[in-house]
Amino acid sequence: MANKHLKPSLLTSAVAAGLVAVPMSASAQDLNLKISGQINKTFAIIDNGDSDAWGVLDNINSGSRFRFTGSQDVGNGAKMGGVWEWQWSNSSTSGNTFNSAGEFSERSASLGDRKTELYYQAGWGKVSLGKGDGAANGTAEVDLSGTTTIDYAGGNQCIIGSITYGTGSSTVTTVTVGTTYSEFDGESRNTRVRYDTPKMGWGGIAVSLGNQGLVELAYRGSWSIGNGKLAVAAGATDTGDRTNGGPTGGTFTTTEDSENRERAMVSASYLMGMGLNFTLSYSTNEPEAGIGATGPSPLKQSLTYFKVGWKKGKHAFSLSLGEAKNRGSTTTDATSTTLAYNFKAAKFAEMYAGYRVSDSDISTLSKVTSINLGSRIKWK
């Protein structure tokens, strides 16, 4: 998809017309404010072939955070509201590394904004404005297994993505798990205008326009089938002139500079009434050499992820297999295998465990293994 052919003005005009079409009531009350959030901590043991260490980390699969939300009816079936959400974590799994002594480094807490958005919702749909989820965010991650706190399509890079592969010798490498294996989901939180159609029997459509030419389109649907449930999602993104932390010009000298161009993703999950469930995710990324880069375009990158699980009552088990193609370079492939368990202790609390093995096709690199035991509490 090429965003230069799209007509953002048409979407803007449609949104403006919709806002005008639903008048606000002068008698609307003040905004209702709610505070919610969660804390998610894990005890991790990680071995990269050269070093092994343990420590307490913030699980960025679903990191510790707090939020303020508010909404109020404004008449004629319409509602206005806003979300202000921040993530506050220390020693997160996503930035965890071994220090010179082969131990986890203690890192101070970091505070970052996740969402700062307002929205207007009526019978014709919902418009969101500000920093929040892009339309396609999560379309590669549909999962009904009940073990997503420790494992989902994007879980490998969140848990051990920053860990470097060892070599089984004193040789130090800079190749991390995240540079060889990751999903290609839609854009996460970004500053955008987003429109969602009303949810209907066939599902719903979402489209968003972000800064620097970012365009996203997505479809989501879920249905009851017998005693079970089926959920599906599909999305596409064109990231325009955006990069994911890499330089905006020059050659493809980093993975980040080459990874964010045109993406497509689809995922589906089926939960049977007896508890057996299956999840499949496939996402692709096609970098382009023509946007701020003079080097050759890397090959098409992809991730295929499959999970089988069993969920009954408070318990959920799963086994997942993932394979990344051309993620680290034009020739590097990698795999991930994860065993996961989740126990829903209460409505607000859960405990989980996971065993993960990540490997690449680079013969000189060792496997990276991790064991995680953790818990998450949520308040609303």
Do the domain assignments include residue 260? Answer: yes
Neighbours of 180 (CB within 10 A): 29
Q: How many structural domains are present in the chain? A: 1
Range of the domain at 350: 3-20+121-368
CA 303 to chain centre: 14
Find the CATH number of the domain harbouring 296: 2.40.160
Specify the pTM: 0.85
Do the domain assignments include residue 65? Answer: no
Q: Are 50 and 166 in contact (CB under 8 A)?
A: yes
Do the domain assignments include residue 43? Answer: no
Do the domain assignments include residue 251? Answer: yes
Q: What is the pLDDT of residues 298-318, one digit of tens each?
A: 678 899 999 999 999 999 999
Share of the chain above pLDDT 70, in %: 82
Do the domain assignments include residue 187? Answer: yes
DSSP bridge pairs for 112:
87
Query: What would the mean pLDDT of 5-32 be, rounded to a whole number?
Result: 51
Q: What is the pLDDT of residues 66-121, one digit of tens each?
A: 999 999 999 999 999 999 999 988 888 887 887 766 777 777 778 899 999 999 99
Q: Which residue has the tokens 């093995």?
A: 357
For residue 218, give the amino acid letter: A
Do the domain assignments include residue 246? Answer: yes
CA separation for the pair 246, 133 (Å, rounded) = 21
Q: Are 123 and 79 in contact (CB under 8 A)?
A: no
Do the domain assignments include residue 53? Answer: no
